[in-house]
Amino acid sequence: MTNTWLNDASTDGVQNTTLVLIKPVGLSHWPTIKKMILNTAPISRTRLVKVTESLIKEHYDEHREQGWFSQLTNYFVGRYVLAVEISADPLKIRKIIGTTKPTDPTNTDTIRGLINSLTPEDTTMTEYTKGIDNLIHGADSEEAAAREIKLWFDSPMPRNPQYLCLTNHNLEMEGAVSPFVGIQFDLANSNALASHVTDLLEAMPWNQHWKTAGNTIPTVVVGGLTPVSIIGMQYLTTFSGRKLKFGWMNPETGEMQVIDLQMVRNRATRHRR
């Protein structure tokens, strides 16, 4: 399938709250998408979700009989999306989202129309988007919004991770989560970068669990994208009110190595004397 956009929808129904999903490619461009959304309506809440097969199949259930259903759903399994609840009716938000196919002439100044300028020069739009990922999904009716908000925000919270990877590598270890995997961060603007990173961290479902005294906070794995790791460490330390345990992602092997912070503290103490 080439350059085919799959989530066709009607525009029936109106409500005061709606849902959008920022798809995997869209996560890299969240600051721009967020600005376009906030210029139209306020955001109520967000949740960063690692997509399971059952979750995405239920989300796209209306397309189950289509021949491309498996291709569509398989694309999302194991990846992260950002669920965003917006205080607006679906039609209002779908106007700024644009039509399903980003190359439509009517998509000037829409979120999906951004793809025309975001696609790297050394690839094609189809390669960049896999012919599926048009940055964002928007509920198409009052009924759909209610169903999707419940589906994405009320789905069970995953088990508390043992390791939280703050690089864009995929840490393949039991009990590890890598919410930044595949995301391209803009390192040229420090304030925009800090907002991008903290938006995603704030949307993780375990935050309130980590904030509660006595609950386990994961070992933080750093390496690679140094500014992203620094922002993430500062946020998690301040939010949880606790000292963090750290690991280091070896960029050559992709393996995690534990950092002995007590040894570092001991050396620093000796040098203060």
Q: Looking at the annotation, which residues are catalytic?
A: 137
Block residue for tokens 């306020």: 42
Cα-based distances in Å from 63 to 35, 57, 70, 102, 258: 31, 9, 10, 20, 46
